Structure 1
Amino acid sequence: MFELPPDPSRLRMILDFLDEQVARNQTIGIYLSVQQKAVRHALSVAEGQAEAARQPSRLHGRGPKGSSTAGPAPSRRERGSSGFMIEQRRTPSGPEEATVHQDDCTMTGNRTHRDISAHDARLALTDGQLEACPFCRPDTELGIFD
């Protein structure tokens, strides 16, 4: 390492510059990580769609001999759901945001929640302050993987 100046003013200036560079690089690293995860998710979805297109289509309902063939479960988009929500838990000082859910998650029950966009859900999950619901997995839906 190079020799540092002895006076506090120059040392503070160097430290401020280094702090700024570290913060800038962390922000870029987080952004690139989020983008990388989104591309991986999109790739897995695209590969899954390509695989589904190669398989013969299934009939819904009863087959020719009275047997039923179950098709794949409808996607969130097919069910008309595209939003997210933040569940709030009760505390002595008032409600606090706790968990991010997909808006059709059945694990929230009658608890207090507020609807949010996919962008806001992605921000809430990537900043580390809120947890993803382990049941509906909004982080997977948004392409956020650990």
Structure 2
Amino acid sequence: MSDLPPDLPRLRTLETWLALSLDRVRQQIAAAEQQAAVDVHREPPPVPDWLVEYGIGIGRTPVRVHGGDCWDTRSRCHPADRDVARRALVNGVEACTHCRPDTVLGVLD
């Protein structure tokens, strides 16, 4: 027992609908492949020299300073230049214990 219609007109209608659907799927595949090719050739963004990690919640104050290539960063980190990183450390923001930006920036207790 088939789940397809038994008569020729409805089978032809179904065939037309499937052909149109297949064309749409193939167009979408082509667009996705084209986008993937563009993404492969796109340069990754440059690694920032410094990162400032911000806390959670209202006010989101700085909680830690990292070197740009530190492995212990979180999603709440934002790029910072040398002056911003030094100012944060001088103002009491904690330095990452792994990459030690306070040592590199010359801001030691």
Q: In 2, distance between residues paired with 1:126 and 1:142?
A: 10
**2:100 is the counterpart of 1:137:** yes
Matched, 1:125 2:84: no
Q: Give TM-score scaled by structure 2 length.
A: 0.51
Q: 1:140 to 1:96 in 2, by over 3 A?
A: same
Matches of 2:90 and 2:60, distance apart in 1: 21
Paired with 1:95 and 1:127, the residues of 2 have a C-alpha distance of 16
Aligned to 1:88: 54
SS at match of 1:139: helix
Instruction: Could you tell me which runs of 5 or more consecutive residues in structure 1 were left unpaired when the two chains were aligned.
Output: 1-79
* Contact kept in structure 1, 2:48 and 2:79, CA below 8 Å: no
Contact map agreement 2:62 2:88 (CA 8 A) in 1: no
Give the aligned residue type for 2:97.
P
Q: In structure 2, do the counterparts of structure 1 residues 94 and 82 end up closer, same or farther at CA, with 3 Å as the change threshold?
A: closer
2:71 — aligned with what?
106
Mapped to 1, the partners of 2:77 and 2:48 lie a distance apart of 16
**What SS is found at the alignment partner of 2:70?**
coil
2:80 aligned to which of 116, 124, 138? 116
1:95 partner letter: R
CA–CA distance in structure 2, aligned partners of residues 81 and 137 of structure 1: 17
Percent of residue pairs bearing the same amino acid type: 36
* Moved segments of 4+, more than 3 Å: none
Distance 2:73 2:48 in 1: 17
Shift of 1:117: 0.8
- Normalising by structure 1, what TM-score? 0.39
Q: How many residues align?
A: 64
Displacement of 1:95 in angstroms is 3.0
Distance 1:126 1:138 in 2: 12
How large is the RMSD of aligned CA atoms in angstroms?
Answer: 2.0
- Return the index of the structure with the highest Cα Rg: 2
Structure 2 gaps, min length 5: 1-45
